[in-house]
Structure 1
Amino acid sequence: MPLFGSYLSSSPSRLSIHKQGLTHAVMASLTSLPHLPPFVSHSSSSSCSIRRLCPGKILTVTFMSPRRSRSGKRSLAPISAVDDVSVVDPPPPPRPPSWGDKSELIAFLKLKLLSAVSGLNRGLAANEDDLRKADAAAKEIEDVGGLVDLSVDLDKLQGRWKLIYSSAFSSRTLGGSRPGPPTGRLLPITLGQVFQRIDILSKDFDNIAEVELGAPWPLPPVEVTATLAHKFELIGSAKIKITFEKTTVKTTGNLSQLPPLELPRIPDNFRPPSNTGRGEFEVTYLDADTRITRGDKGEIRVFVIS
């Protein structure tokens, strides 16, 4: 072994020169991989390593400095590059909620629907593109939630529900797809919050709207709450029929001390054909805090429990 014998008899300075030469030789061989510059790192004073980045892996070659054997002689102890190869895989892409976990998926789709209808002023500011996005987001929840059976889940209707979106409001009338006062500059009417109050025992179904009516200067605007009282009945597993009874208007704010005013009901003979006082809609999704309905004129409404 004359070659290693010469190294073993070398001085520490010659061994250091040889170590540097061997390192440069390995680096030169690694530069045959195009556009992959090596990185040299020193973990301690007695070792150095060469690292080359390759697609999908990092190659590391570590060389230990000469050290003494049990006999007291120096020995060159390189570490095999094959033994010190590590593979680093790229991180996996973000995953949507587990499709096997229905509750997690429903929660994800609810947030998606809320994002689609946010900023639309309950639908009054929606354009055609907004209507399509909201409809698609609602359809996803309906598909995952499955068919609604109110004969079993009628108790979930109980309570006060806040309207957060109605596609019918894009018609720019407070009646939605049915006759109602227009919004905008023609009449100084500002729509506030809209609620539905449902009592499954008395079969009461009340639509409640907070409205601000403009007044000539210098009078302040008049704030009122209009309650459109209905009765409801089930006409299918998920379909509801409502029948109008009366409208009550109550002033709020500075005029809250005034008694409520009940508006007389228009006789059926004088009602326009489009306003029969009856309506139907289907509950397409229902849980403890969210409800989606589709009306007999195609409108979509989204409610959250309040």
Structure 2
Amino acid sequence: MTSLLHSSIPLVHHRHSTSSTSSTCLLPTTRRRTQNFFNSSTFGARKSCDVKKRGFVCNSALDEVATYSPSETDKSKAEFIGSLKLKLLSAVSGLNRGLAASEDDLRTADAAAKELESVAGPVDLLAEIDKLQGRWKLIYSSAFSSRTLGGSRPGPPTGRLLPITLGQVFQRIDVLSKDFDNIVELELGAPWPLPPVELTATLAHKFEILGASSIKITFEKTTVKTTGNLSQLPPLEVPRLPDNLRPPSNTGSGEFEVTYLDSDMRITRGDRGELRVFVIS
């Protein structure tokens, strides 16, 4: 989605030796509108401004200004991208963030994401890092189709052996402090007649940008806070396993690529191929 920024542009004055009328270049515009503007009788000679230099609007001494308007190509692309975003949202809706996804659902979601990624083009995080800022809600993860909270990595199963109900999942990103927190809401089953235990687990990370579109996160700590009826209990920091006791699949860090990013949607692909779709919360 192309964004045109109207920043401060130095005023450039053009004078013609045979005319007392001057012109001032102010803002970007299309060549066609500039040419039409200078074809008017007020300016006579086209040499008062070089209309071949695409991207200027000229203002005369009589304050006649040709205004900027986005090209039809830009409008059409923006509308097309909007329709592809809706197509992706439709493909992942009703899948319980991917926990209920079948093989066909996985293929449909992946195809819709690839179509959006292709049309929008590559992401440049160095130029668009401000768009990462905020609290993002996970609406789909292909990894959850494995029926474990760890996705393609080992993780607690969601089933009868360990009655865990997955709630909302968020990512909280602060581009200034480089904080990257995965926030997971969980419900743990308890023997009858005890009510289930509701809690929120925050997995704190630091992040760094690798290249144009890749992000590396490094794990720091996990904090668990009970909610609901037990919200008065203080948060608990889960002890971290020493590095030599961790399994090879859990090194405390990971990498993923941001393949689509705008002000309200983000698509990432993990280092094990996981497709994740987020919306700003």
TM-score (norm 1): 0.67
SS in 2 for 1:179: coil
Q: Which of 185, 192, 196 pairs up with 1:221?
A: 196
Match of 2:23 in 1: none
String of CA shifts for 1:65-95, please: whole Å, max 9, x gaps.
xxxxxxxxxxxxxxxxxxxxxxxxxxxxxxx
1:244·1:277 contact (CA, 8 Å) conserved in 2?
yes
Query: Which residues in structure 2 correspond to 1:33-182 (within 5 Å)?
Result: 101-182=76-157
C-alpha displacement at 1:180, in angstroms?
Answer: 1.2
Which consecutive segments of 4 or more residues in structure 1 shift more than 4 A?
none
Q: Which of 207, 213, 222 pairs up with 1:247?
A: 222
Residue type of the partner of 1:164?
A: I
SS in 2 for 1:182: coil
1:251·1:260 contact (CA, 8 Å) conserved in 2?
yes
String of CA shifts for 1:99-120, please: whole Å, max 9, x gaps.
9611111110111001100111
1:279·1:296 contact (CA, 8 Å) conserved in 2?
yes
State the structure with more CA Rg: 1
1:202 counterpart = 2:141: no
Q: Distance in 1 between matches of 2:130 and 2:75?
A: 28
1:257 counterpart = 2:232: yes
Cα RMSD for the two superposed structures: 1.1
SS in 1 for 2:172: strand
Q: Distance in 1 between matches of 2:93 and 2:184?
A: 19
1:231·1:245 contact (CA, 8 Å) conserved in 2?
yes
Match of 1:276 in 2: 251
String of CA shifts for 1:183-224, please: whole Å, max 9, x gaps.
121211000000000000110000000000011111100000
Which stretch of structure 1 is more off in the superposition, 185-194 or 171-180? 171-180
SS in 2 for 1:175: coil
Match of 1:291 in 2: 266
Match of 1:6 in 2: none
Match of 2:17 in 1: none
Residue type of the partner of 2:205?
A: H
C-alpha displacement at 1:231, in angstroms?
Answer: 0.4
1:267 counterpart = 2:242: yes
Unaligned runs of 5+ in 1: 1-97
Q: Distance in 2 between matches of 1:265 and 1:179?
A: 17
Residue type of the partner of 2:279?
A: V
Residue type of the partner of 2:160?
A: R
SS in 2 for 1:178: coil
1:303 counterpart = 2:273: no
TM-score (norm 2): 0.73
Q: Distance in 1 between matches of 2:80 and 2:74?
A: 6
Residue type of the partner of 1:228?
A: L
Residue type of the partner of 2:242?
A: P
Q: Distance in 2 between matches of 1:164 and 1:177?
A: 18
Unaligned runs of 5+ in 2: 1-72
SS in 1 for 2:97: helix
Match of 1:42 in 2: none
Q: Distance in 2 between matches of 1:140 and 1:179?
A: 30
Q: How many positions carry a matched residue from both structures?
A: 209
Q: Distance in 2 between matches of 1:301 and 1:280?
A: 13
